[in-house]
Amino acid sequence: MINNLIQAYKNTKYKVFNPNLVIEIGVINNDLNDLMGKNNASEWAYITAFNPYSKALTEIENKDRHLQLKEVTKSFFTYEGHGVGTDSSWEPELSLLVIGISKAEAILIGKKFEQNAIVYGKIDSTPELLILV
């Protein structure tokens, strides 16, 4: 089960709405590097608060959790997007690209929102999947 979940996360496209970016695990993204440079940052994370531990919540519950995530990350530059997986039975999950966050802080926030994993990266490096459970 967990191996299937990890593979699903690795195959997910982590999209940002504005600016239009698509982050993929293991693939350097020059547009993301440019955004990092504009924000004078070296680290980032892509985090959702939706569906804790892959338990499907209602739209209202998930949107409330997203607002809580926005509040927790308000000291950072954030950009909304959604993770789009290959499994069409899961709706894309509203998420935040958080610029300038440390790996340790991103992990703490991911755990606070009961996520199985987050995506983390540094400028000029490949995005990595961090398993939190």
List pLDDT tens digits, range 64-120: 999 999 999 999 999 999 999 887 777 899 999 999 999 999 999 999 999 999 999
Mention every residue, 6+ apart, whose C-beta is less than 8 A from residue 65: 49, 50, 52, 57, 113
In order of 18, 35, 83, the CA distances from 117 in angstroms are: 23, 23, 12
What's the whole-model pTM score?
A: 0.96
Expressed as residue numbers, the domain containing 19 is: 2-131
Q: What total number of domains does the chain contain?
A: 1
Greater pLDDT, 54 or 95? 95
pLDDT higher than 90, residue 42: yes
State the DSSP code for 20. Answer: T
Which 3 state secondary structure label does DSSP give 97?
A: strand
Q: List, in sequence order, every beta strand (DSSP E) within 49-113.
A: 77-84, 93-99
> At a CB cut-off of 8 Å and minimum separation 6, what does 73 contact?
47, 96, 98, 101, 109
